[in-house]
Amino acid sequence: MINLHVASCYLHFKMFAFRVELVEFHYEAYLVSNDFPRPIVTVDIAMLTPRQGELCVALLRRSAEPFASADALIGGYIHTDEDADAEAAVRRILLAKSGVEGIFFEQLRTFASATRDPRDWSVSIAYFALLPEGQLESSDKLSLKPATAPGQLPFDHNDIIKEALNRLRSKGAYSTIPARLLPEVFTMSELLSIYQIVMGERLDQSAFRRKVRELDLLEEIEGEKRQTESARRPTTLYRLKGPVSVFDRRL
């Protein structure tokens, strides 16, 4: 009888403890939803593309406050009912606001503070994206500006662009990421040119070609060549062997 009484008391105690935990859980959920303001959460994309030998960034004229009519990075709110993750938000926003899809992009870092947005505490998950030349249709709202001198932009978009350029240059020296600024098929001269644009320096042509071949980064397009103005004979065409390759030495 004593054992049954002890067991009964223990069972009542566990049930009481469970009810307490359940009440605390609902109370904490109530506090989160009612007493603690939620920050603004967006994604912002520094979409970079070459134009006439210069790396440019795509800017979109804002249609609403704050900073209405100002040029800014392409971005938007995360839709929790639609976006499975931040990358899904990037794809949706790029397609909706620039008509671009299927391009390379990579997360930079999170920009978050109480002062970056005049409306409220704000969190921006920043990305950089790479687009081959001539694939962005300009409009009265969408424009290209030199990435190193885009003018004074709202929020902290100038800082995001600087971060994007630093990331591209630092990773570009040891990977094939710069080649994502080219069409799928390209010449060796075009590959050299885009690396020079990204790195901001002239590279030795012979050494560059030798390193690319030694690293086995490219696949030659058999049966296809292109006649260029600078070459007497049709030029061999290549494509990347993989989406992005990383190597242990600088090109």
How many residues comprise the chain? 251
Query: In sequence order, which residues have a C-beta less than 8 Å from that of residue 245 and are 6 or more positions away?
Result: 175, 176, 215, 217
As a whole number of angstroms, the distance between CA 37 and CA 30 comes to 12
Please state, in angstroms and rounded to a whole number, the distance separating the CA atoms of residues 191 and 48. 16
The CATH number, out of the four listed (1.20.120.1200, 1.25.40.10, 1.10.10.60, 1.10.10.10), of the domain defined by the range 174-240: 1.10.10.10
Pairing relationship of beta strands 218-226 and 235-240 according to DSSP bridges: antiparallel
Report CA 222 to chain centroid distance, whole Å. Answer: 33
Instruction: Output the CA angle 78-79-85, nearest 5 degrees.
Output: 65
Domain borders along the chain are: 1-36, 40-171, 174-240
- Same fold for the domain at 40-171 and the one at 174-240? no
**Bridge-partner residues for 129, per DSSP?**
47, 105
pLDDT (tens digit, 9 = 90+) per residue, 134-180? 999 878 899 999 999 999 999 999 999 999 999 999 999 999 999 99
In single-letter form, the type of residue at position 17 comes to: A
- Asked if 83 and 131 touch (Cβ cutoff 8 Å), the reply is no
C-alpha span between 117 and 101 (Å, rounded): 28
Average pLDDT, the chain: 88
The hierarchical CATH code for the domain 40-171 is 3.90.79.10
- Mean pLDDT in residue range 34-52: 90
Categorize the per-residue pLDDT at 225 as very low, low, confident or very high, splitting at 50, 70 and 90: confident
| Structure confidence at residue 100 (pLDDT) | 95
Tell me what pLDDT residue 3 has: 52
> Is residue 144 classed exposed, middle or buried when 0-12, 13-18 and 19+ CB atoms within 10 A define those classes?
buried
Distance CA 36, CA 175 (A): 44
User: How does pLDDT run across 174-214, given as a tens digit for each residue?
Assistant: 999 999 999 999 999 999 999 999 999 999 999 999 999 99
Sign of the alpha-carbon dihedral angle for 195, 209, 220, 187 = positive
